[in-house]
Chain A
Amino acid sequence: MYNCNLSCNGESRLKLEITISDTRKEIYDVLIDTGFTATSIFGLKLPLEYAQYARNLYTSSISLADTNEIPVQYVCGIVTKIEGKILKKKVPLWTFFMKGKPIIGMHFLQKCKICFDGLKNTTSIEFDFL
């Protein structure tokens, strides 16, 4: 297991590397959001511009917490690195594209140990890295 300390300033963000179709992309400042639950298949939201790397896209309507229904395109991406460290086991993550900042949710967080230390104002994430 490898422990990474993340910056924490009222919210925590991480850097990840994802493969969409055959394209590898580094995504910075991905917000960790435990409220992005695992009740749907989706585990990652990326800005619209990343959709261009997908060879095939699925389109459908989803409903958001504010009850708005919106069309989104999605794909299964593979997370290969966290904070620059290569993951021992790659994590497939259903990813939808929508305007706004990148957000990672519980589907991914369930695969690691994460600690939000409010008193020390730090966040650490533990993963099996190579």
Chain B
Amino acid sequence: MASIKRKAINQMLVEPEELGTIFTSLYNIMTQESKQNILIEVFQDITTNIIIPIITTSAEEIEDRFNRYITPFQSQLKKLIDIIKDNRLNKNHLQSFNISDIENFSNDFYIMIENDFRNESFLKEVSYTLKVYNEYSKTLLKNDIEKPDILDNVLSYRIDMNDLQKYVSGSILAFYCILFCISNRQETERLLPIVLKISEKYNHNLLNYVKTIDILCNRERIEEIKELIHTNAVVAEIIGKSLVADIPLEFKVQNIGRFIAINYNGSIVAKSDTLEGLHNEIDKKGIENDCYIDRIGYNTIAKIDL
């Protein structure tokens, strides 16, 4: 049973339980199986005002245009979710993803495009999208049940919710574009590889966010994402800022303006009045771990004139 608190989850554009419905609706509309007129109207709006302008641009400009259309797409997505929430659709239709959904989708898509030479990269990306959505739903729902207060805190204060929602919407929009390309093969042949790449980028970032949220809710598992921290500045920053947020207030007050190095187990390994001094201290102590560097009371450690 989901928790009753869910303040932050309720403010999300796409709640985990709604994702399955959106996905199913999208698929049914594209394959002309849906009889829900009200949904068809929303999807026609999306197609006319968002998908077609993206898909009809040049290959060089498509990614820029895609990024710019995420905000209008979010408004349309909200409309769609409102319809779902208003119970204008059968409530039983609400569903979240599970593995059999992924398999069913993949099978359906495979049948749909089995004679298409592009099916390998297409199916790979669809499977990846579904895997990411499955992780998104599973992680949020699991932590919502097991650690509702911590999840609420993480979503409200530890991550950039707008950024997360951008990746959720971007991923859904990319999937819609992929479907559109597949159902209008002649005109969009050249664009499919680009759309697949955009989709992969959004899904990859969304998956990183999901992993980060999970670790922020379950700190004892930090070792699992040490590699991701090492290779991804955004993830490293989210985790680092979260660790800094947990430093006792007394320490922060006593050290305001100072630079600190904190390792990803949450220990402060060095502090100094200057960034140079901080690194001298790190060297002196022979610390050989990835660290997050913070200046207490400041947003950034340096200004670079580039």
Q: A residues bordering B, Cβ < 8 Å?
A: 33, 35-37, 39-42, 45, 51-52, 55-65, 69, 71-73, 76, 94, 96-97, 103
Question: What is the CA–CA distance of A89 and B233 in the complex, to the nearest angstrom?
Answer: 32
Q: In the complex the two chains form, is A55's CB within 8 Å of B303's CB?
A: no
- In this complex, which of B233, B275, B294, B300 has the most chain A Cβ atoms within 10 angstroms of its Cβ? B233
Q: In the complex the two chains form, is B288's CB within 8 Å of A60's CB?
A: no
Supply 14 further A-B pairs (C-beta < 8 A) apart from A35-B306, A36-B304, A96-B304.
Answer: A39-B303, A39-B305, A40-B304, A41-B275, A41-B276, A55-B288, A57-B290, A59-B291, A59-B292, A60-B237, A61-B300, A63-B300, A73-B236, A76-B279
Whether, in the assembled complex, B39 has its beta carbon less than 8 Å from a beta carbon of chain A, the answer is no
Question: What is the CA–CA distance of A41 and B275 in the complex, to the nearest angstrom?
Answer: 8
Contact of A69 among B231, B236, B300 (CB under 8 A): B300
> Which parts of B228-244 form the interface with A (CB within 8 Å)?
229-231, 233-234, 236-237, 240
Q: In the complex the two chains form, is B236's CB within 8 Å of A62's CB?
A: no
Contact of A42 among B236, B289, B293, B304 (CB under 8 A): B304
Whether, in the assembled complex, B302 has its beta carbon less than 8 Å from a beta carbon of chain A, the answer is yes
Query: Who on chain A is nearest to B238 by CB?
Result: A71
The 5 closest A-B pairs by CB, nearest first: A71-B237, A40-B302, A59-B236, A60-B293, A71-B233
Which A residues lie within 8 Å of B182 (CB)? Answer: none
Question: What is the CA–CA distance of A33 and B302 in the complex, to the nearest angstrom?
Answer: 18
Question: What is the CA–CA distance of A103 and B167 in the complex, to the nearest angstrom?
Answer: 30
Whether, in the assembled complex, B299 has its beta carbon less than 8 Å from a beta carbon of chain A, the answer is yes
Q: In the complex the two chains form, is A42's CB within 8 Å of B288's CB?
A: no
Q: B residues bordering A, Cβ < 8 Å?
A: 229-231, 233-234, 236-237, 240, 261, 275-276, 279, 288-294, 299-306
Q: In the complex the two chains form, is A60's CB within 8 Å of B292's CB?
A: yes
Q: In the complex the two chains form, is B234's CB within 8 Å of A61's CB?
A: no
Which A residues lie within 8 Å of B279 (CB)? Answer: 41, 76, 94
- In this complex, which of A56, A59, A63, A71 has the most chain B Cβ atoms within 10 angstroms of its Cβ? A59
A56 with B234: in contact, given A40-B303, A69-B300 (CB under 8 Å)?
A: no
Query: Who on chain A is nearest to B234 by CB?
Result: A71
Contact of A62 among B231, B289, B303 (CB under 8 A): B303
Q: In the complex the two chains form, is B302's CB within 8 Å of A62's CB?
A: yes
- Min distance, Cβ B230 to any Cβ of chain A, angstroms: 6
Query: Who on chain A is nearest to B275 by CB?
Result: A41
Question: What is the CA–CA distance of A45 and B304 in the complex, to the nearest angstrom?
Answer: 10
A45 with B306: in contact, given A58-B290, A71-B233, A73-B236 (CB under 8 Å)?
A: yes
Query: Who on chain B is nearest to A60 by CB?
Result: B293
Which A residues lie within 8 Å of B302 (CB)? Answer: 40-42, 60, 62-63
Q: In the complex the two chains form, is B261's CB within 8 Å of A58's CB?
A: yes
Q: In the complex the two chains form, is A61's CB within 8 Å of B299's CB?
A: yes
Question: What is the CA–CA distance of A94 and B231 in the complex, to the nearest angstrom?
Answer: 18
- Min distance, Cβ B121 to any Cβ of chain A, angstroms: 23
Contact of A58 among B231, B276, B293, B303 (CB under 8 A): B293
Question: What is the CA–CA distance of A55 and B231 in the complex, to the nearest angstrom?
Answer: 11
Question: What is the CA–CA distance of A52 and B230 in the complex, to the nearest angstrom?
Answer: 9
A59 with B300: in contact, given A36-B306, A37-B305, A76-B279 (CB under 8 Å)?
A: no
